[in-house]
Amino acid sequence: MAPTFTNSNGCPIPEPFATQRVGQHGPLLLQDFNLIDSLAHFDRERIPERVVHAKGSGAYGEFEVTDDITDICGAKFLDTIGKKTRIFTRFSTVGGELGSADTARDPRGFATKFYTEEGNLDLVYNNTPVFFLRDPSKFPHFIHTQKRNPETHLKDANMFWDYLTTNQEATHQVMILFSDRGTPASYREMNGYSGHTYKWSNKQGKWHYVQVHFIAEQGIKTLNNEEAGQLAGSNPDYAQEDLFKNIAGGNYPSWTCYIQTMTQEQAKQAPFSVFDLTKVWPHKDYPMRRFGKFTLNENPKNYFAEVEQAAFAPSHTVPYMEPSADPVLQSRLFSYADTHRHRLGPNYTQIPVNCPVAGTVFNPHMRDGVMNVNGNLGNHPNYLDTSKPVEFKTFSLQEEQEVWEGSACPFHWKYDEKDFIQPKELWKTLARYPNQQAHLAHNLAVHVAGADVPIQDRVFEMFAKVHPDLSNLIKKEVLEISPRK
Ligand code: HEM
């Protein structure tokens, strides 16, 4: 049956385009609720965009356990081979606004919500295994240098390289960003990495440090700098179109899920801190172990409701999966739910895409607030009334927890020469792939050429610490693009 056109209180409107006015050509009447309601709703259509990762694409799918890792993790959704869990994944760029180009040189966000029987688990990852910083207080400063200059409202190569050359722990991530991996050919053709170290424990209470990898079954494909630039102009929504059309056409993308693990003893011996997310765990020392696979097989029906309103938070976790003491991860545990309360309101978990599986939420004091739309627990007492039946589930505690002690103290994790060990390895690795060293130098040069001369010189110095060839290649091309007088 065709729907009847109504206003927002359900009253039928016979003539949707008519306005109430004095005579045929006179001013409008304040009593015309249909017009006022319609304009007032339109005026409020926009909500704040995400402060980072504003432009993105999402889809639903299914995670399946392929291998037993119950010796590492006791989470219920992992307890049986073949067990399936519904998921929702959102991919994104980081620095651009909601309307920005999908092919920008930028890390890609890779956030997945698992609707498990023990609550929602959000794995909020990127497509790069490392990050720009390990002091969380740097994050807002760093992000501002990737966004717009407050005066010119332009992206600004001086801000960008001024920050990065004075915070050189970022070198590893900057090299990945300016390799062709910084411009993935599509969201389907890139991997996802936890970056951070997590702590997972089994049901006996034994725990491991864990890193998670999602490896694209489509393989990795990248664009070169020029292809990415052209697509930014000709089809800024390239990655959204690619994901939507592939899923709509039944060509479902999938990823295989792996972990790397370390015991506390191994971590003490490692040549880097497991809480330093500027470092990778070498695969030869910490082998990859497969545990699952997921496939994206369902497009959302409504972008705003399901993708724009999706709220992922590293603090949304399930029993037997805990954060490590990585200071950036610890800070993220605060930041995401905080921004969701601002962006979507305090009842954001009632929005269907964010709702845990029915029946898994019972917390009688979490009541009221704007947009409380799920019945607000009816006439149930608005406090925890323990005289009424309620179950408290217990889980095995992680045995031999790390012990932290010491007085409160300021800690700034300054960079030193050790931060160039893995970038040097990466430079050597790139030599194994055709043109990849040259592309890295070229991609850097065209960006650095936009900075002032003293900052360009700092960039050459910084990359000379990785390899003199890299520095020389960048310098040669920068001087060709912007010759010095
Ligand atoms: C101190 C460090 C960080 C802070 C304070 C921070 C903060 C934020 C904030 C406020 C958002 C917007 C969330 C929203 O509006 O829903 C966001 C989004 C995101 N962040 Fe971070 N972030 C940090 C580091 C990282 C790192 C290290 C990763 C990856 C390993 C990461 C991955 C993501 C992803 C994937 C999204 C988009 C989630 C989505 O699709 O909705 N962030 N971050």
Give backbone dihedrals phi and psi of 446, rounded to 5 degrees, phi first: -65, -25
Contact 108, 126 (CB under 8 A): yes
Mean pLDDT of 57-79: 98
| Ligand 1 centre distance from Cα of residue 260 (Å) | 22
The bridge status of strand 289-298 relative to strand 207-216 is: unpaired
Residue 18 CB neighbours (<10 A)? 11
Mean pLDDT of 108-129: 98
Domain boundaries, the chain: 56-157+186-354, 422-481
- pLDDT at residue 424, as a whole number: 98
Least Cα distance to 316 among 328, 339, 334, 304 occurs for 334
- pLDDT at residue 68, as a whole number: 98
Least Cα distance to 145 among 154, 136, 471 occurs for 154
Q: Partners of 115 in the beta sheet?
A: 120
Nearest residue (CA) to ligand 1, atom 27: 131
Give the helix/strand (H/E) hosting 38. Answer: helix 33-43
- pLDDT at residue 399, as a whole number: 72
Q: Which CATH architecture has domain 56-157+186-354?
A: Beta Barrel (2.40)
Q: Where are the alpha helices (DSSP H) in 84-179?
A: 139-146, 157-166, 171-178
Question: Using 50, 70 and 90 to split pLDDT, how confident is the model at 485?
Answer: confident
Q: How many helices (H) and strands (E) does the chain have?
A: 13, 10
Q: What is the pLDDT of residues 150-192, one digit of tens each?
A: 999 999 999 999 999 999 999 999 999 999 999 999 999 999 9
- pLDDT at residue 388, as a whole number: 87
Opening angle at CA 474, ends 470 and 477, nearest 5: 140
Report percent pLDDT > 70 for the chain. 100
Q: What is the pLDDT of residues 26-53, one digit of tens each?
A: 999 999 999 999 999 999 999 999 999 9
Least Cα distance to 51 among 102, 112, 103, 92 occurs for 92
Q: Is residue 396 scored above 80 in pLDDT?
A: no
- What is the rounded CA–CA span in Å between residue 38 and residue 15? 14
Pocket residue to mutate for ligand 1, from 47, 49, 50, most atoms within 8 A of Cβ:
50
Q: Is residue 17 scored above 80 in pLDDT?
A: yes
Residue in this structure with the two tokens 């990945």, named with its chain if needed = 176
Nearest residue (CA) to ligand 1, atom 37: 53
Mean pLDDT of 3-23: 95
What single DSSP character describes residue 305?
Answer: I
Give the helix/strand (H/E) hosting 110. Answer: strand 108-116
Q: What is the pLDDT of residues 460-473, one digit of tens each?
A: 999 999 999 999 99
What single DSSP character describes residue 377?
Answer: T
Residue 469, both tokens: 């060839």
Q: 400: phi > 0 → left, psi -120 to 50 → alpha, else beta; which?
A: left
What single DSSP character describes residue 61?
Answer: E
Write out residues with Cβ below 6 Å of ligand 1.
Answer: 50-53, 56, 90, 92, 109-111, 124-126, 131, 136, 139, 195, 310-312, 328, 331-332, 335-336, 339-340, 343
- pLDDT at residue 394, as a whole number: 84
| Ligand 1 centre distance from Cα of residue 195 (Å) | 12
The bridge status of strand 119-126 relative to strand 198-201 is: unpaired
Question: Using 50, 70 and 90 to split pLDDT, how confident is the model at 217?
Answer: very high
| Ligand 1 centre distance from Cα of residue 472 (Å) | 35
Give backbone dihedrals phi and psi of 289, rounded to 5 degrees, phi first: -130, 125
Q: Which positions ≥6 away from 357 have C-beta within 8 Å? A: 115, 116, 117
Contact 341, 348 (CB under 8 A): yes
- What is the rounded CA–CA span in Å between residue 7 and residue 406? 63
Contact 160, 145 (CB under 8 A): yes
Give backbone dihedrals phi and psi of 37, rounded to 5 degrees, phi first: -65, -40
Q: Partners of 289 in the beta sheet?
A: 259
Q: Is residue 397 scored above 80 in pLDDT?
A: no
Q: 357: phi > 0 → left, psi -120 to 50 → alpha, else beta; which?
A: beta
- pLDDT at residue 171, as a whole number: 98
Burial class (CB in 10 A: 0-12, 13-18, 19+), 339: middle
Query: So which residues are the catalytic ones?
Result: 53, 126
Least Cα distance to 309 among 250, 355, 363, 362 occurs for 355
